[in-house]
């Protein structure tokens, strides 16, 4: 629970605002019931039910974008309804809604929601004691919305930048190990739920330390960047490349396994042979491949790919080794399948 709140910004906002709204509205609902103002009390209870439903939906389904938008629309609309039922005191309920909508929905949608709510409130002219009060309310509401927009926009920009720094490898521009752990966990969960095929290829540049020692780290970095560019050019947009560490990378292939996976990897091996160079000649790579098995966890999946990569290194490098338990190869051989251009 706490892990989700720490890692999912929108979910944490929905939960916090939902809890605050419940604590703030519940006393008024009870007070109005005791006063005999049943219409206002029923409205408060309906608002509470909608807030609780939005929070529960966000937690159960994980669709925080939809839940946040629904919560923003519902709270702003509810503030307008409260204004219609209670009169002038209801005006004050709209102001917190104007602020929170920018944290629940995108800035563009939040502006639309806020302007609609302000207009709907102003349309109920009998709420206001005078035109001066009405236009003062409108001016104040617009200023609050503008300030909230600036703050939310700045916060979102900084959050995206931090997420980028936390998940992207600065040298190659591909996702790092932290991002890989998240995507592999999602792939395993999705495979368990839908039965979709997933495979990973762990690849390591052969003799990379010698390249660094002989030609310098600048040349080594250039080799890494060029290899990443070649791989991205010859894989699908849905495939994911991660820098696992040093000269080691992991490729995630959704919906790919068996002979299709073999074809892709052999093609990548040929591309690297043809185009990847350093001052001393051709740069090669070794591949360890593992297709996800039913009910397998991420650690086991990675361990099988790593074991296959180790065997590729032990077999002379510049080859592709498929993990022994891959479903695509269990009927073909008693030992891992091997492909080499050497």
- Catalogue the active-site residues: 247
Residue 52 CA: distances (Å) to CA of 40, 69, 82, 135, 187: 18, 14, 18, 34, 30
Q: What is the phi/psi pair of residue 240, to 5°? A: -125, 130
State the virtual CA torsion across 5, 7, 9, 10 in degrees, nearest 10: -70
CA triple 193-197-199, angle to 5 deg: 125
- Provide, for the chain, the percentages of residues in helix, strand and coil under a 3-state DSSP scheme, each rounded to the nearest 5: 70, 10, 20
* Element containing residue 289 per DSSP (H, E): strand 285-291
The Cα–Cα gap between 84 and 76 comes to 13
The Cα–Cα gap between 192 and 169 comes to 29
CA triple 176-181-186, angle to 5 deg: 125
DSSP string, 184-210: HHHHHHHHHHH---EEEEEEEETTHHH
Roughly how many angstroms between the first and final C-alpha of the chain, as a whole number?
Answer: 51
């Amino acid at each position: 629970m706490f892990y989700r709140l720490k890692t999912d910004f929108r979910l944490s906002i929905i939960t916090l605002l939902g809890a605050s709204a419940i604590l703030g509205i519940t006393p008024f609902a009870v007070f109005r019931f005791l006063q005999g103002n049943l219409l206002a009390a029923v409205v408060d209870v309906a608002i509470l039910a909608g807030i609780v439903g939005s929070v529960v939906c966000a937690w159960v389904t994980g669709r925080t974008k939809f839940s946040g938008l629904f919560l923003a629309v519902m709270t702003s609309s509810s503030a307008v309804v409260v204004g219609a039922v209670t009169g002038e005191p209801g005006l004050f309920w709209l102001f917190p809604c104007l602020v929170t909508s920018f944290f629940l929905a995108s800035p563009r949608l939040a502006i639309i929601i806020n302007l609609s709510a302000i207009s709907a409130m102003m349309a109920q002219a009998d709420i206001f004691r005078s035109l001066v009060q009405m236009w003062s309310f409108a001016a104040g509401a617009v200023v609050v919305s503008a300030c909230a927009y600036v703050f939310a926009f700045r916060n979102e920009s900084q959050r995206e930048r931090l997420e980028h720094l936390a998940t992207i490898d600065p040298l190659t521009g591909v996702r790092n190990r932290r991002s890989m752990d998240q995507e592999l966990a999602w792939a395993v969960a999705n495979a368990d739920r839908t039965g979709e095929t997933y495979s990973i290829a762990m690849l390591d540049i052969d003799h990379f330390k010698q390249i660094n020692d002989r030609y310098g780290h600048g040349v080594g970095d250039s080799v890494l960047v060029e290899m990443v560019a070649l791989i991205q050019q010859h894989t699908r947009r849905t495939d994911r490349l991660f820098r696992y560490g040093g000269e080691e990378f992991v490729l995630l292939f959704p919906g790919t396994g068996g002979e299709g996976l073999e074809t892709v990897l052999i093609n990548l091996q040929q591309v690297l042979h043809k185009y990847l160079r350093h001052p001393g000649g051709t740069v090669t790579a070794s591949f360890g491949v593992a297709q996800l098995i039913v009910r397998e966890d991420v650690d086991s999946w990675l361990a099988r790919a790593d074991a296959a990569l180790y065997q590729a290194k032990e077999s002379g490098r510049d080859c592709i080794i498929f993990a022994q338990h891959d479903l695509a190869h269990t009927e073909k051989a008693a030992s891992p399948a091997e492909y080499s251009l050497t």
